[in-house]
A and B are shown apart, each in its own frame.
Chain A
């Protein structure tokens, strides 16, 4: 660890230095002191002087700092902040007892010190506007989007009590107490009145969501405690905004103009701001959900909609002077379920990751800048009495408020909150950047002691985040607070949880009283009947059952584990042996992808071999036998092969340098070879089928429409694979297997002439067997003939000189070119082949053919 952290530290310092050089140059340039610039930094300084000189010749390189100044600085700062986070994470010794947020603030101090040392003034600080518009929204959106909804709503009452009453209490108590102390002469002479104190109290009242998440995420307290603190920190924003605005207005009105009417207006505005903000969030959540119903077509930017609309919900609420934090919180909370159901799984993952990147990134920046901001002599106004008393009151009233409110709430709770939890909850009342932001946006003309307020706010923030954050972990350990134990996801638990819900609901009905479960059930029913219909895709509605999705998730996990396990053992044969346990997985997939996978599986070797010949052998056998086969067996086959294709043919994929803005899986893009391959396969299949089933036309009619889409799909897939194939050893083995059983078909003789026909370029439609078909030439013949036009390229592809393996393949090829009479026996090799492919008898397969 140590070398890493030192390395990164070096890197950081280097970058900071770079940043500093740049910033110092900005100032120097603006004051146009040329000499000092060149003396400051050598080469860059010279180039600066070059650029600003009047042009006498065509400049090859020009130094255009002012063009890029702002974005460059922003990017540089982001980088530096993130490197600080990296450093904090790498240093495991420090991290074990320091919370990350504290480390970030401290590194902010250091950075600020360096900048100040270079510039002799603080050039950078956390500007409220940047904080509220560019840093905060994504954090709140993230918390809303990942909110554990059930927990949140089942504790909503308690959260609201704490958020509304607790915050009001804090604001009022801190403000009035400070005022009292001021009157008592504890802090000397200040130009400050009761209203200003209340304003100050209100901006300090709110527990900060950013700080709370940062600290509580690391201590892993139990979920009820977490949601109480966390929910309170989010929902108290409405209160803070209102209190702040109201007292701000009162301050400007002046004490004598305030009457009962104004106070009532203030109370009304609370409801408008809080509920209005939430309502806007819900409206945007509905918009997002509705939109994601239809964004499947532009899947690649689908994820972006969540961010844009979430941000818009924040801005809209801000525009209407409603609570923006509440708005974006509820936007995330309400849309998560429907968005996750509506969007493609990939987009969901994209949203989740991007959300975390943004949120973590800006959280880091907030903390670092909280530190950087401190290093500024302009804002520091020291008043011992004021600052210490504020700290004391903030802490004490938080404890009082929490204890009192929890005491009341406990009387109505099934599981009372214990004293220990209450202590942690009070201690978790961290103040953060929101308070600083509000303090920094105070109007200096009206509030004379603005700087003192900022100073005090900063000290409160540092005290709570660093000291309380630091002591939180030991405290939690010492008090033995119930923590979350990492639990394994278990289906039986989930099943039983579902049963509990129903049982409890039944019991409530029997005892004839309305309880908690009545509400959840009522909501669920309402949601099922109306909301999902409105906001969810029809497909998404189908597999929405929670238990089933858990089941699905578990199966996916299993599948991944199987693959890792198989890779560890170095053999995929292992997979086949554990068929008993993967039944579930197969069942799930069976509906979606049996056919394509079987097709692809059988085509493994064939892109190097003559495709036509292989198709001739394998595809018919599959299509004929698929109904006779036991589904399960098929599934095992395709399952194994599904894994095979993922793991055996990766190398080719890496070699494909292709770019597409809207596709990750480039191999899906249309390509000539693919096209040829598809058409070939299709026509081949159809011709064979009619040859085979021409006797029973009725059956043919019924089968064809059913099969066709499958074939199309499978063709697409096969060709995917064919492009990924390296000329590796693995597929050599397969091709041999293929050839081997075609050998069993008894077509060894006369294969050389047939080969002749293939190489002539008509490989697509084997002319040799066309005339021998029972049925008269059906319409697809024309299609087949059309195919011959593209055949040469296929032939060329097949006989590329650069694959020495072709020499090997020639032998199997010859055998595999099956003469038409082998079709008479098509059934026999078909069954044999499938049994060979089935995992139960791998040895037999080797035995017979090697």
Chain B
């Protein structure tokens, strides 16, 4: 464990990050290594081009996950959303919710849909995501009707858009904690 600690000391604000995200030192170190590897020209932050360089990611329909310039803490925070929920971790009533809580996970997905950040998933935005996710054989009309129907299901106030509350309600039965978690981040 000695080597781990020595690397950990090099990472700025490692302690705070661990506190905030709940990652273990080993995770932080591993993520830091990855971060360094992605940041090819050592500019100290990650930009969309760096993510574009990941071959598998380029094929992923949801590329827009990381469109902003990220420094290491925000990089860790994004990944922290996908940490499995652990029951043992004490929940301090005063502190804000854990970053990997259910509603934070939901918020993360919601923000992926909500590109213009107006707090609503509009038909256009949904269509955009659907278009990238569905296979090519689905025609544009079919896409539109799928989008219409999806909105219909969630849209409670009939404004042709899904607000976060509506989104959360429609996902009530889905086990987000399990589905939005990656095993190796535990």
Contact = CB atoms under 8 A, between A and B. Distances in A.
Interface of A: 412-415, 485, 487, 490-493, 495-500, 502-513, 515-518, 521, 541-545, 547-548, 551, 554-555, 583-584, 587-588
A493 B79 contact: no
A493 B172 CA distance: 9
23 contacts: A414-B178, A414-B186, A490-B153, A491-B146, A492-B171, A493-B170, A498-B133, A500-B180, A502-B61, A502-B133, A503-B112, A507-B78, A507-B182, A510-B54, A545-B135, A545-B137, A547-B130, A548-B138, A583-B145, A584-B148, A587-B145, A588-B142, A588-B145
B60 A497 contact: no
Nearest to A508: B182
A515 B170 contact: no
Given A414-B84, A495-B130, A515-B183, A583 B148 contact: yes
Interface string B116-141: 00000000000001100111011001
A509 B57 contact: yes
A518 B54 CA distance: 14
A548 B146 contact: yes
A553 to B, nearest CB: 12
Contacts of A547: 130, 133-134, 138, 146
Main secondary structure of the interface of A (DSSP, over half): helix
B40 interface: no
A490 B182 CA distance: 24
B178 A587 contact: no
Nearest to B81: A507
Interface string B34-61: 1001100000000000010010110011
A410 to B, nearest CB: 12
Contacts of B179: 497, 500
A495 B138 CA distance: 14
A492 B60 contact: no
Q: Which of B54, B60, B109: most chain A Cβ within 10 A?
A: B60
Nearest to B186: A414
A503 B65 contact: yes
A507 B145 CA distance: 30
Contact of B109 (A491, A503, A518, A541): A503
A266 to B, nearest CB: 36
Nearest to A551: B146
B134 A502 contact: no
A499 B129 contact: yes
A513 B60 contact: no
A507 B184 CA distance: 11
Nearest to B143: A548
In the A-B complex, the 6 residue pairs with the smallest Cβ-Cβ separation, listed nearest first, are: A414-B183, A584-B145, A502-B62, A509-B57, A509-B56, A512-B34
A503 B148 contact: no
A140 B174 CA distance: 31
Given A515-B183, A584-B149, A544 B173 contact: no
Given A414-B84, A510-B66, A493 B171 contact: yes
A497 B174 CA distance: 9
Contacts of A500: 109, 179-180
A369 to B, nearest CB: 42
Contacts of A515: 182-184
Interface of B: 30-31, 34, 37-38, 51, 54, 56-57, 60-63, 65-66, 78-79, 82, 84, 109, 112-113, 129-130, 133-135, 137-138, 141-142, 145-146, 148-150, 153-154, 170-171, 173-174, 178-186
A280 B67 CA distance: 49
Contacts of B130: 495, 547
A511 B138 contact: no
B178 A415 contact: yes
A496 B62 contact: no
Contacts of B66: 510
Nearest to B148: A584
A412 to B, nearest CB: 8
A520 to B, nearest CB: 13
A81 B129 CA distance: 54
A493 B112 contact: no
Given A508-B182, A583-B145, 10 more contacts: A414-B183, A414-B186, A415-B84, A491-B150, A496-B174, A499-B129, A506-B60, A509-B57, A510-B66, A515-B184
Q: Which of B34, B112, B130, B133: most chain A Cβ within 10 A?
A: B133
A82 B54 CA distance: 60
Contacts of A497: 174, 179
B26 to A, nearest CB: 13
Contacts of B180: 500, 503-504
Contacts of B82: 504, 507
Contacts of B183: 412-414, 515-516
B88 to A, nearest CB: 12
B129 A492 contact: no
Given A500-B179, A510-B51, A548 B134 contact: yes
B62 A493 contact: no
A588 B142 CA distance: 8
Given A511-B185, A587-B142, A499 B112 contact: yes
Contact of B173 (A415, A485, A554): A485
A584 B152 CA distance: 12
Contacts of A502: 60-62, 133
Nearest to A514: B184
A584 B62 CA distance: 26
A338 to B, nearest CB: 16
A7 B34 CA distance: 74
Contacts of A511: 30-31, 34, 79, 182, 184-185
B100 to A, nearest CB: 12
A494 to B, nearest CB: 9
